[in-house]
Chains A and B, each alone.
Chain A
Amino acid sequence: MFIIVVIALLVVMILALVRSLLGPTIYDRVLAVNAFGTKTVLFIAVYGFLTGRPDFLDIALVYALINFVGTVAVLKFFEYDDLGSGAYQEDDI
């Protein structure tokens, strides 16, 4: 039963990779990587159930946290060209 979900998740991961390779703008690529990350969370959770190992859910939870933080950090880097500076420099809006 879980096999079908695992196969569907792999297909969607491949689609996300296709979009990350094709994506003209960097935001397409960030979107594809973010989607790939959330699909990986689901894949780990379902694969944990497939092989009867409930402790995979911890890995899935940590991966969800890191995926979110990574996406927002990359976006901040794109918007302000620097992670260290404050949200608004002096001459900003």
Chain B
Amino acid sequence: MATFIDLLSWALLIAGSFFLCVGGVGMVRFPDVYTRIHAASVTDTGGAAFIFMGLLLQAIFTFENPMAAIKIVLIAFFMFFTGPTASHALAKAALMAGIVPKGQDGQSVIDKSLKLAKRGRKKA
């Protein structure tokens, strides 16, 4: 039973760190601000969830520390909601500042009627 728990939590931890590495590479290599925000935030929340699940198994079974398990659930719960929220705020701020998301062919992917620059900051 104990080795099964170790094996399962080990697999979860490795999967979580794999997702984080993918997110890190995506954050460096992607061409545009919005693609980088997408890469970083999606894998961040996913990888963190996997790592916290792995830690939760360890905290419950091998360390038998219920207080640590509660704290891990709290951190995971908090990061599950604030990760996407921060990324949304970031993307909105970038959009308001007038950074136009471009498609494959370099043209703006949003139609002209939005007239981004005017809705941005007054001095932008």
Contacts and interface: CB of A to CB of B under 8 A. Distances in A.
Interface of A: 1-2, 4-5, 8-9, 11-12, 15-16, 18-19, 22, 25, 27-28, 30-32, 34-35, 38-39, 41-42, 45-46, 49, 52, 54, 57-58, 60-61, 64-65, 68, 71-72, 75, 78-81, 91, 93
B119 A75 contact: no
Interface string B28-51: 100001001100110010011001
Given A1-B13, A34-B87, A61-B71, 4 more contacts: A11-B24, A15-B27, A54-B59, A64-B79
A22 B9 CA distance: 36
12 contacts: A4-B17, A5-B17, A12-B24, A15-B24, A15-B28, A27-B94, A30-B93, A31-B90, A32-B40, A42-B51, A72-B86, A72-B89
A4 B78 contact: no
User: For chain B, what secondary structure do more than half of its interface residues adopt (helix, strand, loop), or is it mixed?
Assistant: helix
Nearest to A81: B121
A5 B44 CA distance: 14
Contacts of B16: 5
Nearest to B95: A27
Given A19-B27, A42-B48, A64 B82 contact: yes
User: For chain A, what secondary structure do more than half of its interface residues adopt (helix, strand, loop), or is it mixed?
Assistant: helix
B116 interface: no
Contacts of A79: 93, 96-97, 121
Chain B interface residue count: which class?
35 or more
A49 B54 CA distance: 11
B27 A16 contact: yes
A9 B72 contact: no
Contacts of A28: 33, 36
B74 interface: yes
A5 B53 CA distance: 13
Given A27-B33, A45-B52, A45-B75, A2 B13 contact: yes
